Amino acid sequence: MTNEAKYKIRLLTFVTLLTLVTTFSAFAQQQLSIATGGTGGVYYPLGGGLAEIISTHVDGYSATAEVTGASVENMGLIARGDADIAFALADTVQQAYSGTGRFGGQKLEMLRGMAALYENTVQIVTLADNGIVSLSDLTGKRVSVGAPGSGTEVNANTILAANGIDYSDITVQRLNFNETADALANGDIDVGFLSVAAPTSSVLNLATTHSIRLIELSEAELARARQASPIYTRATISGSTYPGITGDTAVLGVPNILVVSADMPDALVYAVTRALFEYKAELGKVHPAANQISVEFTLSTTPVPLHPGAIRYYEEIGAPIPTALRP
């Protein structure tokens, strides 16, 4: 056998062994699924950032962000074991856990909180030249209330109902964020609800081609919505967040929660929670909303019991756990 032939055999053997090692390593890592939302919002890019943190800093695990219909759908995915971690709005999580609202008596009592991330703002967007300036102007209009299975629709329904507007009073469209922006641009709808951190790419893109207006809620409208769902806060979208809008806009705020199943191993939830807080600056580079992540925000806004693995981390750093958050 020539030296060249021997070299080729050694090279082939090396490549084969390298392939086997790489394949084994991939299979050795357990895969986690992160349920997020549509590509036009904040959940999906932040989910991608969280997946990168898990894949890099949690030994033995890798993660992937999945596009979903967002909050309502995500609670079902966790309950069925079709997702491991989910993003969801706090009022949706509370409804799912208690079997109220959209969940109609079906209590998802296996839901556990891991962390609170940031506060959404319920943005009611329209074009600046169509004469729609207040919530009461929505009557008789074509309104996108959010994608089916989204927390946006939960928010929209609560805000409208609390202020005397029924779905029968409007022409309802159920569109995701990108679809809502496109429909506004094309004149297919008059108003769109988007419950998302500001700024969001779908509204930014719309505002670069059209003059937009954010519909401000009056103090009375804010109060009625907050009475209907005390999880809501009074929030503000500052002027210059979007092109062409100079003044601050009073809106409702809704915390976002990372949710897992009670069946998820304590050690895994502890490791993910620890990695999230230790490397949260990496999420802040994905979207500035992630800069709101804090233990204090988690302990003051999570509407369901925390997972024992998360509690272990919070106790380890000396945070007092409210009794209501212990399972």
Tell me, what DSSP letter sits at residue 229?
-
Residue 3 pLDDT:
52
List residues bridging with 250 in a β-sheet.
Answer: 236
> H helices within 29-150, ranges in order?
43-57, 71-80, 90-98
| DSSP per residue, 118-129 | EEEEEEEEEETT
Instruction: Tell me how crowded residue 188 is: count the other CB atoms within 10 A of its CB.
Output: 14
> How far is residue 45's CA from residue 122's CA, in Å, rounded to a whole number?
19
Residues 79-133 pLDDT 10s: 999 999 999 999 999 999 999 998 988 999 999 999 999 999 999 999 999 999 9
Residue 28 pLDDT:
63
Strands 249-261, 85-89: pairing is antiparallel
Residue 16 pLDDT:
52
Tell me, what DSSP letter sits at residue 216?
P
Place of tokens 């929030």: 235
Enter the CATH code of domain 7-117+256-325: 3.40.190.10
Taken as a whole, the chain contains a residue count of 327
Residue 73 pLDDT:
95
Residues 251-282 pLDDT 10s: 999 999 999 999 999 999 999 999 999 999 99
- Whether residue 279 contacts residue 293, with contact meaning beta carbons closer than 8 Å, is answered with no
The enclosing H or E element of 111 equals strand 111-127
| Res 321 pLDDT > 50 | yes
Of the two residues 27 and 196, the one the predictor is more confident about is: 196
- Whether residue 307 contacts residue 85, with contact meaning beta carbons closer than 8 Å, is answered with no
User: With 0-12 CB in 10 A as exposed, 13-18 as middle and 19+ as buried, what is 80?
Assistant: exposed
CATH fourth-level superfamily of 121-254:
Periplasmic binding protein-like II (3.40.190.10)
Of the two residues 17 and 171, the one the predictor is more confident about is: 171
Residue 104 pLDDT:
87
The helices-and-strands tally (H runs, E runs) of the chain is 12, 10
Nearest to 146 by CA among 166, 185, 174: 174
Rounded to the nearest 5 percent, the helix, strand and coil shares of the chain are 45, 20, 30
For the chain, where do the domains classified as CATH 3.40.190.10 start and end? 7-117+256-325, 121-254
Average pLDDT, the chain: 92
Residues 213-235 pLDDT 10s: 999 999 999 999 999 999 999 99
- Determine if the pTM surpasses 0.95: no
List residues bridging with 88 in a β-sheet.
Answer: 257
Nearest to 91 by CA among 290, 287, 259: 259
150-159 b/e with 16+ CB inside 10 Å = b?
A: bbbbbbbbbb
* C-alpha torsion 259→301→93→139, nearest 10: -140
Nearest to 316 by CA among 270, 279, 276: 270
Residues 37-58 pLDDT 10s: 999 889 999 999 999 999 999 9
> How far is residue 304's CA from residue 306's CA, in Å, rounded to a whole number?
6
Nearest to 39 by CA among 171, 182, 142: 182
Percent of the chain with pLDDT over 90: 87
